[in-house]
Amino acid sequence: MQDLVVTAPDPRRAFTALEWAVEHAERAPERDAAAPHGEGVIVSPIVATREDFLSAEKKLVDIRRLLDRVMMSDDAERGLDALLACGALGALMPEVDAMVGFGDGEWRHKDVWKHTKQVVRQSVPRIEVRWAALLHDIGKVRTRSIAPNGEVHFFGHAEVGARMCDKMHRRLPIFGGEPALQDTVRFLILHHLRASQYDHSWTDSAVRRFAREMGGCLDDLLNLSRADITTKRPEKQKKGLRNISDLAERVRNLAEEDALVPPLPGGVGDEIMKAFGLPPSRRIGEIKKELEAAIEAGEVDPHQPCEAYVAFLAAHAARFSLPTI
Question: How much is the average pLDDT of 293-311?
Answer: 92
Closest CA to 76 of 145, 129, 35, 112: 129
Label residue 152 by pLDDT band (50, 70, 90): confident
- φ, ψ of residue 89 to 5 degrees: the values are -65, -50
Per-residue pLDDT at 187: 98
246 vs 303, which has greater pLDDT?
246
Mean of the per-residue pLDDT values for the chain?
Answer: 90
Q: What single-letter DSSP state applies at residue 104? A: B
Query: In the prediction, which pLDDT does 108 show?
Result: 62
Tell me the pTM: 0.82
* 298 SS3 class: coil
Q: Which amino acid is at 132?
A: A
CA pair distance 263, 265, nearest whole angstrom: 7
Mean pLDDT of 309-325: 93
Which parts of 2-83 are beta strand (E)?
A: none
pLDDT average, residue stretch 252-269: 92
Asked whether 40 and 32 are in contact (CB, 8 A), the reply is: yes
DSSP string, 151-210: -EE-TTHHHHHHHHHHHHHHHS-TTTT-HHHHHHHHHHHHHTTTGGG--TT--HHHHHHH
Residues 137 and 230: their CA atoms lie apart, in Å, by: 13
